[in-house]
Amino acid sequence: MHKRAGFKLLLSYSVPAAISMMVAAFCNISDRWFIGESEGITALAGLSLTLPLMVLLTAIGSIVGTGGAILIGRCLRRKEIPIAEKILGNTFSLTFLISLLIIFILSGFQKEIILLFGGRTETLPYAVRYLNIIIPGSIFLNLTAGLTNCMRVCGFARKAAWIVFLGIILNVVSDYYFISVLGMGIEGGAIATVLSMGTCALLICFHFLSPDSPVVLRKTYFKPQARQTLKIILTGMTPFFMNLTICTVSIIMNNYLVVHGGTIAIGAYGIISSYTILIMITISGICQGMQILIHNHSGIAKVRLFRLAVYAGAGISCTGFILGEFFTGHFISPFTSHPELTRITQTGLRIVFCTLPILGFQLIVASFFQSIDKTRKALFINMSRQFIFLIPSLFVFSGLWGINGIWIAVPFSDLLSTFITTLFIKREKTHFSTVEALQNS
C-alpha cells in the first residue's frame, strides 16, 4: 500500500467517524458557550457537573451500537443480509428498551446524582433543571450514537457524518434562539440538545427504512432475541468500559475540584474538558478508521496502516498542544469573561495540555491492540491512563499543591501510561519486522 494512498484511505474512514462521534459532545459544549455568557459562572459549573452523566449515556448507546455494527459488518462481508437485518432490528429495539430503563431509573434522582458528581447548593438547581429535560431526551442521544455506527459499516459513512453535522448546526442555532433570544436559560440549552438529537435519530431511522439501504430496519426483527442480544452486548463491552472509566474519573475530579477550588474550579474544568474531549474524539475517529481498515487488510498493510494512524494521531495531538499553549485566551473567551475564572482556566489548560502531544500515540496503540484481538492490553492502556495512575496522583498531588496539583496529576498519569504503552508496542516490533521481511522476500 502506497503511503499517500493509504493516508487518503485512512482519512476517508476516519473523518466521518470523528464527525459522527462529535454530536453529543459538541451539543454539550455549545450549551456551555451560551450558558456561560448568559447565566454566569455558577450556571456554567452546574452544566459542567452533568458531563459525566452525558458520557455515561453515550456509553449506553455505544455498547449496543458498536456491538451491533461490528456484527452487521461481519454479516455483510459474508453476504448474510437477513442475519444483518435481524441484528439491526435487535440493535434498535435493545437501544430503545435500555434507554427507557435508564430514564426510569434516573428520573427522580437528579439531586442525588449531581451531589454524587460533586454538586453543591449553588450549582445544584442549574444542573437539576438541565437533567430534567436531558434524561427523558436521552433516548434520542442513544439512538443517534448507536445507529450511526451501523450506518458507517453499511457503507454510508459520509451520510452519517452529514446527518450528525446537521444536528450540530441545529443545536448551535437553537441554543442561540432559545437562550439568547427567548431568554430560556439552561432549560433552553437542554431543549436545543434534545431537539438536535431527535432530528438526527429521525433521519437515521428514515435511512434504514429506505430500500436504498443494504440492511433494512424491519418490524419482524424488533423483538429482542437472547442469543443476538448477548452477542451485541459482549461485542460492545470494550468501548463501554472505556466510557464508564471516563465517567468515573470525571466524578472523582469534580469532587477534588470542589474541595480545593470551589464552584469556580468546576467551571474551569468544564471549559478545559470541552477542548480535551474534542481532541480525543478527533483522534478516536482515526482509531475507528484504522480498526475498520485493519480488519479488511492483512500482512504488511496492517503495519503500514498502524504507522499512518500514529502519524495522524501525533499531528492532531501536536496541533491541539500548540493551540492550547499559545492561544489559551481565545479558547476561554467564548465561555466566560470573568477574570478569576479566566485565570484559573488558563493555568489549568496549560498544565493539562503540556503532555497532549503523546495522547495520540496512547489512543492509537490501544485501538491497534483491540483490532488485532489483544483486548487485555488495549483495556490496560486505557485503564492505566484514566484510572490506575490518575486517581492516586489526584490524591497525592491535591494534598501537596491544591488545585494546581489536580491539574498536574493529569499530565503525570499520561507520562506513566505512555511508558507502559511504549513497553507494550516494543514487544510487537519483532512481529512487525518479521511481517515486513516475509512480505519483501
> Which residues are CB-contacts of 60 (< 8 A; sequence separation ≥ 6)?
95, 98, 99, 102, 138, 142, 240
Q: What's the grid cell of residue 252? A: 472523582
Q: Is 101 exposed, middle or buried (0-12, 13-18, 19+ CB in 10 A)?
A: exposed
According to the model, what pLDDT value does residue 441 have?
46
CA distance 334 to 114: 25
Compute the average pLDDT of residues 295-299. 67
Region of poorest pLDDT, from 206-210, 354-358, 378-382, 399-403: 378-382
> Phi and psi at residue 333, in whole multiples of 5°?
-55, -30
Hey, what's the cell of 411? 499530565
The contacts of residue 430 (CB under 8 Å, 6+ apart) are none
Please state the rounded mean pLDDT for residues 194-198: 93
Question: How many angstroms separate the most distant Cα atoms in the chain?
Answer: 70
Q: What is the pLDDT of residues 135-194, one digit of tens each?
A: 899 889 888 878 888 888 888 888 888 898 899 899 999 999 999 899 898 999 999 999
Q: Which residue has the cell 489526584?
A: 394
What's the pLDDT score for residue 157? 80
Q: Identify the pLDDT of residue 347.
A: 94
- Residue count of the chain: 441
Q: What is the model's pLDDT at position 435?
A: 46
Q: How many CA atoms lie within 13 A of 27 on its CB side?
A: 36
Q: How far is residue 23 from each of residues 94, 170, 197, 368, measured CA to CA in Å?
A: 21, 11, 8, 24
Full-model pTM: 0.81
Q: Exposure of 105 by Cβ count < 10 A (0-12 exposed, 13-18 middle, 19+ buried)?
A: exposed
Residue type for 387, please?
F
Per-residue CA distances from 269 to 265, 290, 413, 440 (Å): 6, 31, 17, 50
Return the axis-axis angle of helices 237-296 and 375-383, rounded to nearest 10°. Answer: 130
Average pLDDT over residues 51-72: 77
163 and 152 Cβ atoms separated by less than 8 Å: no
Band (242; pLDDT cuts 50, 70, 90): low
What are the tens digits of pLDDT across the range 78-100?
Answer: 888 999 999 899 989 988 888 88
In what helix (H) or strand (E) does residue 155 lie, and over which residues does it extend? none
Cα–Cα distance list, 91 to 10, 143, 179, 366 (Å) = 27, 9, 35, 26
The pLDDT mean for the chain works out to 84
Residue 437 has pLDDT above 60, yes or no: no
Window from 60-64, 126-130, 182-186, 263-267 with minimum mean pLDDT: 60-64
